[in-house]
Amino acid sequence: MRLEGKTAIVTGAASGLQGEVMGYGGATARIFSKEGANVIIADLKDEIGEKTASEIRDGGGSAKYVHLDVTSEHDWINAIEVATSEFGELNILVNNAGIGDPSIIEETSVDSWNRQMDIMAKGTFLGTKYAIPEMRKAGGGSIVNVSSVFGNVGSLGDSVYSAAKGAVRTFTKATAVQHAKDGIRANSVHPGWGMTPMTVDPFSDPDILDPKLATVPMGRLARPEEIGYGILFFASDEASFATGAELVIDGGRIAW
Distance between CA atoms of 107 and 100, rounded to whole angstroms?
A: 15
For residue 144, the surrounding DSSP H or E stretch is strand 141-146
Residues in CB range of 56: below 8 A, 6 or more apart:
16, 29, 30, 33, 39, 41, 62, 63
229 noted as active-site residue: no
Catalytic residue among 24, 65, 130, 161: 161
| b/e code 191-217 from CB counts within 10 Å (16+ = b) | bbbbbbbbbeeebeeeeebeeebeebe
**Phi-psi bin for 60: left (phi > 0), alpha (psi -120 to 50), beta?**
left
For residue 248, the surrounding DSSP H or E stretch is strand 246-249
Pick from 139, 151, 149: which is nearest to 216 by CA? 149
Residues in CB range of 210: below 8 A, 6 or more apart:
none
Is 101 strand, coil or helix? coil
Residue 143 pairs in a beta bridge with 93, 186
| Residues known to be catalytic | 161
